[in-house]
Structure 1
């Protein structure tokens, strides 16, 4: 078997390996097959890239809905067996909750996914920081909270089982017999809102994204107004990019914050 080896810090490797296992256990979207793990490396089965059709993209949406519906124990829950305090996203700290502590999605998003990166975003000037800070406060107050998609609600889980860093590059379209399968890689998996994964796919785009959204909504209808909430769920990823790459992402992040 041909494999792909990835090297990173011990914390990042442990986070990713736990996330891959947890997402695979959901039995929904395909997940990179974990072959072996060391302290600072992991190996996954090498995939053959393919070109997805609209049907392939729609099927990915349906499968992702099933992953989300597998649920999580609480907002900010880490994968089973993972150290909640040592989770990583692109080598940045991504702390999670060891036990239930957040009463709403907005409270979780603001405290655990926005405020830490706002504090670390040195590229923001004082005025920009105030704009983003006001948006974070409104999110914390629950102004933008919404129901989970239908399958998550039916599962009885408050929090969905999400990938947590689902930009288009973290979906590998693998060529297999009978088609091309959207396969999840590089997760920052946790208990969150299903709309976060879907909104993050829109940050940089994904092949036939409209078909993916239609496939998802077909089996797990999204709550009314989801399009207006896309920015809520993109702000975390954009702040992470401000921390990592500086001012090239500031304009987009601040524009979304102003709208919120």
Structure 2
């Protein structure tokens, strides 16, 4: 067995401790492969080196079912983090996110994640863009996406939190989670991030998920509200290239809320 050392002498204090805690928390239910943590230091994390293989439709379906089981393992509240401080973003430029606990998803998502980030990028969005973003955050705060497709309310799920395709490695043991921003959240957060930049065999992942945890027929129309944070984070981290997509997503959120009667 070989290892892989992730290091960053300029990483903020607590960054590697948060990642290690997140990996261990995701591995705890033993329902999905998670890269093992071998050693944690102040400015490094030593992980088991993963040997990648080509993804397949069967592996994707199995991962979808595993992800559903991970979410169903639950969390104690929305916003809860397995470490005292939590981060989002790449090693060279992460930003801190709140770890306050919330009883409901709309308050957590709108007030602790979306609104603070939107305020950071006001100048980049422009006045009209910021107004459109704010309108979308308001409908989320009103509870339009508390459940799925307007049905019921969701309990806090055990989510990876940054599950874009680059944080999912395909190995002989199955799709394996790396680089989490783990927290108690809404199950659609992870599914939305997988869709944001197009994970391999995405539809097969969704099929496996729905086979394990049945979903309303139009649930994918809700994904816009759950990938919104990831898009706003990309505006914050990488600038104007993501502004048009963020604004279009805000408009889709408002339109979907209208469909749901909000």
For the Cα contact (< 8 Å) 2:148–2:219, is it kept in 1?
Answer: no
> Deviations for 1:191-217, whole angstroms, at most 9, x for unmatched residues?
001111001100001111111100010
Out of 160, 178, 183, the residue aligned to residue 185 of structure 1 is 178
Per the TM alignment, residue 21 of structure 1 is displaced from its structure 2 partner at its CA by 0.3
Structure 1 residue 2, shift from structure 2 partner? 1.0
Residues 58 and 212 in structure 1, CA contact (< 8 A), matched pair in contact too: yes
- Matched with 1:88 is 87
**What is the deviation of 1:120?**
1.4
TM-score (norm 2): 0.88
RMSD across aligned C-alpha pairs, in angstroms?
A: 1.6
The count of corresponding residues between Structure 1 and Structure 2 is: 242
SS at match of 1:30: coil
CA contact (8 A) 1:110 1:140 kept: yes
TM-score norm. by structure 1 comes to 0.89
2:172 corresponds in structure 1 to: 175
**Range 233-242 or range 103-112, more displaced:** 103-112
Q: Measure, in 2, the Cα distance between the counterparts of 1:103 and 1:139.
A: 15
Question: Could you say what secondary structure the match of 1:60 adopts?
Answer: helix
Deviations 1:10-40 (A, max 9, x none): 3221111110000000212210111100011
| TM-superposed deviation, 1:175 | 2.7
Equivalences for residues 101-140 of structure 1 within 5 A: 102-121=102-121, 122-140=123-141
Structure 2 unmatched ranges of 5 or more: 254-262
Partner secondary structure for residue 143 of structure 1 = coil
Distance in 2 between residues matched to 1:195 and 1:221, nearest whole Å: 13
Number of the residue aligned with 1:2:
2
Q: How much does 1:259 deviate?
A: 2.0
CA distance in 1, matches of 2:109, 2:164: 18
SS at match of 1:5: strand
Does the residue aligned with 1:37 lie in a helix, a strand or coil?
A: strand
**Residue number in structure 2 paired with 1:34:** 37
Q: Select which of 159, 162, 180 maps to 2:159.
A: 162
The Cα of 1:147 is off from its aligned counterpart by 4.5
Matches of 1:147 and 1:134, distance apart in 2: 20
- Unaligned runs of 5+ residues in structure 1 are none
4+ runs deviating over 4 angstroms = none
